[in-house]
Amino acid sequence: MGQTVRTTKLLLDLSKREQGGANRDKRRYLEETVAMLDAARCFYLDFLLAHPQILMERVEVISKQTAEVSQRLISADKVLTWAEFQTLATDAHPAPLPQWNFSKAFPDFPNRYRRSVIKDCIGKARGYLTTLRTWQHAGKQKGKPAVPTAANHPTLYAGTYTLELDSLDLRKSFVRLKVYSGSQWVWVHYPTRYNRYFEVRRGEEGWEQESPKLILGKQTAAIHFVQSKTITATKIVESKRDPDLVTVAVDLNVKQLAVITVRQHGTIIQTRFVSDHGLDQHRYRHLKRVAKKQWQAGKPIKGERSNQQLWRHIRRQNTDVAHKTARAIVEVCEQYRGCVLLFERLRVIKAKGGSKSRRLNRKQANQLKGKINQLAKEKAYASGVVSIEVNPHGTSQYCARCGAKGLRFSLVAGQRVTAKGGKLFVCSHCSYECHADFNASCNVHHSFFREFHWQPRIQRSG
């Protein structure tokens, strides 16, 4: 049993008014709101850290099932109630602590926002106190934990926002947010860049809605809708005993981004190549431009970024391709219930030798590999597939059929050219020939089951 979380973004449309976006005040309101909540968080963080004994109080809990008495940390809800009682002026309790009077410092502060702020602070303060205590116990000089900062993204509990989605006309969808205008709290409508994809994700079965967050960037504003899902998956050790187990192996490369092979009962039953559709070459050309510009401009100025748009373009392309490739891997996994996803432990191609643009491109390719690996694991887990990393030793050098050492070669104008990075593979023992990446992908299965002599055995002690 495990849990996984995912986020779907809904962008607020804050572009220029002539282009149909919100007016400038709306942007300012959001900034004011974030600043106001940060100030409130600062207040409660100071308050809670001034009362550590209550924050870390241990209480006796009686179990309903076994009637056993155990000690546990006081619940966050109880601390919240206590903090509100101490700092708020109510009819029943008109005089809170004079130096901690929240009602006076923040008049008309919405309840829901206040609670989200206090909850956030309890988490932050507790985390800090715990790390501080372990640091003190360790008796080290270095690494003293820093006091947490108050800044955070506002959490939108029910009552501080409403989604108004007009399903007939997708262009007319709004989010109503409670924001601070600089003098008072008001409800304001914000147009959104709503899309069908968002609706599909929100309505998907098995995912539970959590409180969304307002993320205010320098240029953009978005509401991040968080969803969580409980996953039930069998452990790898148990799966490995199953004779009908299906294994899905992935070999990540530069040109063929992923070569996916599926194996059951010792035979490969499905293969899928995910090509980069010329991305490597495309990126290389951009990086050539970057390298040339860097050379022309000379020494870079510290703290200043150059070629920002170009880098953004490269980054976006990489992310997009990574998501698509990861999706392709998971699509294969979803066809086989209870399968295990196998990856090689990532090898980094050293970015040395060749031109500067080539080195830059190698770095990018390495990052892309890492990204695909990470995304595929996350996406696979969300659909109940567990992944494992296997030892990459020798997967691209040995024959997947007989286990003997082979050679890499390419066909240049009909002639065989033996080269280290050759596209094809030939076995010197059984003369088996195939695509080199396919061979490597098949070897990942062997590595998982440790079937060949060149694969390292489990080390026995003594």
Interaction site with Zn ion (CB under 5 A): 399, 401-402, 404, 427, 429-430, 432
**Which residue lies nearer to Zn ion by CB, 214 or 444?**
444
Q: Which is nearer to Zn ion, 96 or 403 (CB)?
A: 403
Q: Which residues contact 233 (CB under 8 A, 6 or more apart)?
A: 2, 381, 384, 385, 386
Cβ closer to Zn ion: 285 or 429?
429
Which of residues 383 and 397 has its CB atom nearest to Zn ion in the complex?
397
> Smallest Cα–Cα separation from 211: which of 271, 138, 157?
157
Nearer to Zn ion, 362 or 446 (CB): 446
- Cα distance between residue 266 and residue 243, in whole Å: 10
Distance of CA 262 to the CA centre of its chain: 26
Rounded CA separation 370/348 (Å): 9
Indicate the residue among 74 and 404 with the shorter CB distance to Zn ion.
404
Closest distance between Zn ion and the C-beta of residue 382, in Å? 38
Please list, in sequence order, all residues whose beta carbon lies within 8 angstroms of the beta carbon of residue 308, skipping any fewer than 6 positions away: none
The number of C-alpha atoms within 13 Å of 164 and in the hemisphere containing its C-beta is 11
Residue 364 in tokens: 């990018």
Least distance in Å: CB of 246 to Zn ion? 24
Least Å from the CB of residue 383 to Zn ion: 35
Closest to Zn ion by CB, 311 vs 452, is: 452
Closer by beta carbon to Zn ion, 79 or else 427 = 427
Least spacing, CB of residue 263 vs Zn ion, in Å? 17
Relative orientation angle of helices 76-87 and 24-49, to the nearest 10 degrees? 100
- The distance of closest approach from Cβ of residue 418 to Zn ion in the complex, given in angstroms and rounded to an integer, is 16
Phi, psi at residue 92, to the nearest 5°? -75, -25
By C-beta, is 152 or 443 nearer to Zn ion? 443
Return the number of the residue (246 or 400) whose C-beta is nearest Zn ion.
400
In terms of CB distance, is 336 or 432 closer to Zn ion?
432
On whether the CB atoms of residues 398 and 406 are closer than 8 A, the answer is yes
- Minimal CA–CA distance to 78: which of 126, 134, 46, 31? 126
Give min distance, CB of 404 to Zn ion, in A: 5
CB 433, min distance to Zn ion, A: 10
Cα–Cα distance measured from residue 95 to residue 86, given in angstroms and rounded to the nearest whole number: 9
